Amino acid sequence: MYWESASQEDLRRIHEGACQVLEEVGMRMKDRETVDIRVGAGAKRVDDETVKIPRTLVERAIQSAPPTFRVCDRRGGFLEIGDAHHHTYPALS
């Protein structure tokens, strides 16, 4: 078995599917303030815990995201995520 990167077409299809789900089904969030922030940014409130997120809001968020970020552990170590940084983790059984 070998690992194969997703193609640009694969990534496009994943993005399209995610945008469709966020726009048509929505996303449930338990924190009221989080819902209010999303609505203030342009999401549509469905109920107290659910918002539908339009594609334009998703696209703006992607454009404003940094190209890399760090995931830190309690001991001061970190993993750089993004760009050419790839990490694999063994499956837990």
pLDDT digits (tens, 9 = 90+) for 65-83: 998 988 888 898 888 888 7
| Amino acid 4: pLDDT | 80
Band of pLDDT at residue 32, cut at 50, 70 and 90: very high
State yes or no: pLDDT of 93 exceeds 90: no
Is the Cβ–Cβ distance between 62 and 55 less than 8 Å?
Answer: no
| Amino acid 90: pLDDT | 62
Is the Cβ–Cβ distance between 83 and 59 less than 8 Å?
Answer: no
% helix, strand, coil for the chain, step of 5: 40, 20, 40
User: Which carries the bigger pLDDT value, residue 80 or residue 11?
Assistant: 11
Helices (H), 1-93: 8-24, 32-41, 55-64
The residue among 28, 18, 8 whose CA lies nearest residue 62 is: 18
| Amino acid 15: pLDDT | 97
- DSSP assignment letter at 73: -
Summarised one tens digit per residue, pLDDT across range 36-56 is 999 999 999 999 999 999 999
